Amino acid sequence: MRTIRGGILLAALLTGALATAASAEDPTIELKTTAEKQLQVKRSDGSVETVLVPAAIVVPGDVVAYTIEARNIGVENAESVVITDPIPEHTVYVPGSAEGDARILFSVDDGIRFEAPEALVVAAADGSSRAAIPADYTHIRWIFSEPLAPSAKRSVHFLTELQ
Amino acid sequence: MMRAAALLAAALWLAASPAWAAGTPAGTAIVNRAEVVAMIVGSPVHVVSLDDTVVVQEIVDVDVTLQSAGNVFVAAGGIDAVLTFRVTNLGNGIDTLSLVGASAGIAGDDFDPTFKKLVLDDGDGLYEPGIDPDYVPGTNDPILDANDPANDSIVVFVLNDIPGAALDGQLGRSELRADSSPGPAAPGTTIAGAGDGGVDAVIGLSGGSDTELGTYEVSTLAVAISKSSTVLDSLGGDRPEPGATITYELVVTSSGGSTASGLVVTDPMPANTSYVPGSISLNGVTQTDADDPSTDGSNFSVTNANAVTVTLGDLPGGSPAQTITFQVTID
């Protein structure tokens, strides 16, 4: 009798522990990033095709393609979804390469302000300012207008050149 | 579809960019970490991805360039004639280079210089016999760090002897080759674990080896001067008697493949004669006796006491003869 009661108590404790863990770790959105290397492959017919391979061996000058995938693993719609990615150190954003079914903005001040490329300016030491170039970009932001439904996923992409 | 278009644009942009020089150091971790924010049932959600890390591998690229401008002029039979090269690590790591000098059988020249040795510069870029160390393969191979601008290159001197039978104007070639430590291989070859800190080594555009030629040109430069005199006595004859005038003529010629630079002709007055003031001429043009370089480069008894001095300057081999005349009277 004591043994059975102890068993029930243990089961209840376990259930409680699992629930706690779930609420702390279950963020309802799962975010994955993948790096791939862009390679140009010459086909037997002489045409050149650009393919992506795992970024196992990268050297300066290589183009690294980043993919960020957000998946709603909860049961409710995710509204106002915004993905932000700092451009990795030692890499330079490849102009025009950011993609995603979203409004895409960039930052040149370490993620404080985000603007469209044509609105970005960089201040010089002498107080003047100039239009930003891709090498100035520090962050990319994708702002989605549509909600992300449960089980749905969305991917965004950008390319960088390794310096 | 949209993505494919962007990839194509990126490829074109890359094709237009020049070959990379030293870049991100080998072994550097390139970390990407994205984040997402959203509202779920009125509550903010903030999720950060795991770090995605890519490690930069070592690119192996070496470059050799000739530092001497144009052909290096040498004399036939010259000993330890120097050609100067610079060897640079164009990769993104630390590379130990082996060097090879050669002179025999290079196409396009008239004679083979006799290869002597390679000498490593001590940092001042000047060849200093006995101070700059001789290169001994496997013992003092240059170790160049592409990530350190103060130590990414070294000046190497190639020393040759010039055959005594080489003729004026003939060319002789010599070359310097630098091989990376992973060794020459086809560009793009990956050598597992051969890079700095155990990363992979990837052979760059140079194929991990570079060779550059230098050319010696034989020049037998010679400057000749001849002197003649004409006497005119008071009776119109040619007796060298007191009062007679002697006209001296000096003819200077330069021959060979290079230039005699900074030529100055000096001629002291013979004993028992007196200089005739204002009598110096150069190629038929009368010169002043004063030291007035802005007018002419000639003077009497200024640069050298009781002597005619004429400055000819640079005289390339084969230039027209320079004729100097002046007069004295016999005391």
Pairing state between β B72-74 and B209-218? parallel
Q: Based on the domain organization, do B198 and B77 belong to the same domain?
A: yes
Partners of residue B263 on adjacent β-strands: B313
**pLDDT at site B183:** 83
Residues B88, B144: Cα–Cα separation, whole Å: 7
**pLDDT at site A13:** 39
Mean confidence (pLDDT) of chain B: 89
Q: Based on the domain organization, do B254 and B140 belong to the same domain?
A: no
Domain boundary among B160, B190, B218: B218
Residues B67, A81: Cα–Cα separation, whole Å: 59
**pLDDT at site B38:** 93
Q: Based on the domain organization, do B203 and B325 belong to the same domain?
A: no
DSSP class per residue in A100-143: -SSEEEEESSTTS--B-GGG-EEE-TTS-EEE--GGG--EEEEE
Q: Based on the domain organization, do B231 and B209 belong to the same domain?
A: no
**pLDDT at site B5:** 42
Pick from A34, A64, A78: which is nearest to B45 by CB? A78
- From B49, which residue of chain A is nearest by alpha-carbon distance? A31
Residues B289, B305: Cα–Cα separation, whole Å: 12
- Contacts B37 to A, Cβ<8 Å: 80-82, 84
Q: Are B57 and A57 contacting, i.e. CB atoms less than 8 angstroms apart?
A: yes
CATH number where B244 lies: 2.60.40.740
Question: How do residues B75-118 score in pLDDT, each as one tens digit?
Answer: 889 999 999 999 999 999 999 999 999 999 999 999 999 999 99
Confidence of residue B19 (pLDDT cuts 50, 70, 90): very low
Q: Based on the domain organization, do B144 and B105 belong to the same domain?
A: yes
Tally the domains of chain B.
2
Does the beta-carbon distance from B38 to A163 stay under 8 Å?
A: no
Does residue B274 come out as left (phi exceeding 0), alpha (psi in the -120 to 50 range) or beta? Answer: beta
Pick from B24, B34, B50: which is nearest to A83 by CB? B34
Give me the domain span that covers residue B275: 222-330
Closest among B50, B52, B8 to B30, alpha carbons compared: B52
In a domain, residue B315? The reply is yes
Exposed/middle/buried for B245, CB within 10 Å: 0-12, 13-18, 19+?
Answer: middle
**pLDDT at site B131:** 95
In a domain, residue B78? The reply is yes
**R_g of chain A, CA atoms, integer Å:** 23
ipTM of the complex in this document? 0.78
Does the beta-carbon distance from A162 to B30 stay under 8 Å?
A: yes
What does each C-alpha distance from A110 to A144, A161, B150 come to in angstroms? 21, 19, 31
**pLDDT at site B11:** 37
Question: How do residues A41-71 score in pLDDT, each as one tens digit?
Answer: 778 888 888 888 888 889 998 999 999 999 9
**pLDDT at site A76:** 92
Does the beta-carbon distance from A97 to B6 stay under 8 Å?
A: yes
Does the beta-carbon distance from B35 to A83 stay under 8 Å?
A: yes
Confidence of residue B18 (pLDDT cuts 50, 70, 90): very low
Partners of residue B302 on adjacent β-strands: none
Cβ-defined contacts of A40-47 (< 8 Å, 24+): A40/B11
**pLDDT at site A26:** 55
Q: Are A143 and A105 contacting, i.e. CB atoms less than 8 angstroms apart?
A: yes
Does the beta-carbon distance from B37 to A81 stay under 8 Å?
A: yes
Best of B17, B43, B49 to disrupt the A interface (most A CBs within 10 Å) is: B49
Closest among B267, B272, B232, B234 to B249, alpha carbons compared: B267
In a domain, residue B29? The reply is no
CATH number where B71 lies: 2.60.40.10
Q: Based on the domain organization, do B63 and B181 belong to the same domain?
A: yes
Confidence of residue B22 (pLDDT cuts 50, 70, 90): low
Residues B163, B150: Cα–Cα separation, whole Å: 38
Domains of chain A and any CATH numbers: 27-162 (2.60.40)
Arithmetic mean of pLDDT, B35-55: 92
Residues B231, B220: Cα–Cα separation, whole Å: 36
Residues in chain A predicted with pLDDT less than 70, given as ranges, are 1-27
Helix (H) or strand (E) holding B156: strand B153-161
Q: Based on the domain organization, do B200 and B232 belong to the same domain?
A: no
